[in-house]
Amino acid sequence: MRRSATLRGTKGKARLAVDDCADYLLKYRGHLRYHEYLAAGLPISTGVIEGACRHLVKDRMDITGACWGLEGAEAILKLRSLRSSGDFDAYWTFHESADYIRNHADLYASTPPTTILPLKLAGRSHLRLVR
């Protein structure tokens, strides 16, 4: 609801923006429990979010000459977030196991387990870290 819809000129437009902001905050005041978030040790500033967006998204997606499709961009951003959070190794172990189950478990169901290569070959990395 725009309370100042009848205002004219530059000051009127500025007032409309302020009223829109106030209306938004009033509409969602039930979700704005900052005192609880701070007590739980959660960050509430947008700087943390903006920094994460710049680090994860902009620094990778905004490379000169890059052209991203939705699926490729989403895949890269998922991998970047896993790496940044320190969860990449756990994810990769899960990924290899799920891949084996999805693509090979039925094929080798009658083969004795000792003849099947282990999921992680000793000393062999499936990915190469590129910095």
**17-76 pLDDT per residue, tens:** 899 999 999 999 998 888 898 899 887 777 877 888 888 888 888 888 888 899 999 999
Distance between CA atoms of residues 31 and 24, nearest Å: 11
Mark whether 92 and 76 lie in a shared domain.
Answer: no
Within-domain flag for 40: no
Within-domain flag for 64: yes
Mark whether 92 and 82 lie in a shared domain.
Answer: no
Within-domain flag for 50: yes
Note down the domain range covering 92: 87-121
Within-domain flag for 38: no
**Is residue 106 left, alpha or beta, with left meaning phi > 0 and alpha meaning psi from -120 to 50?**
alpha
CB-based contacts of 36-42 (< 8 A; 24+ apart in sequence): none
Residue 107, both tokens:
């094929």
List, for residues 90-123, the tens digit of each pLDDT value.
Answer: 999 998 888 888 888 777 777 655 544 554 544 4
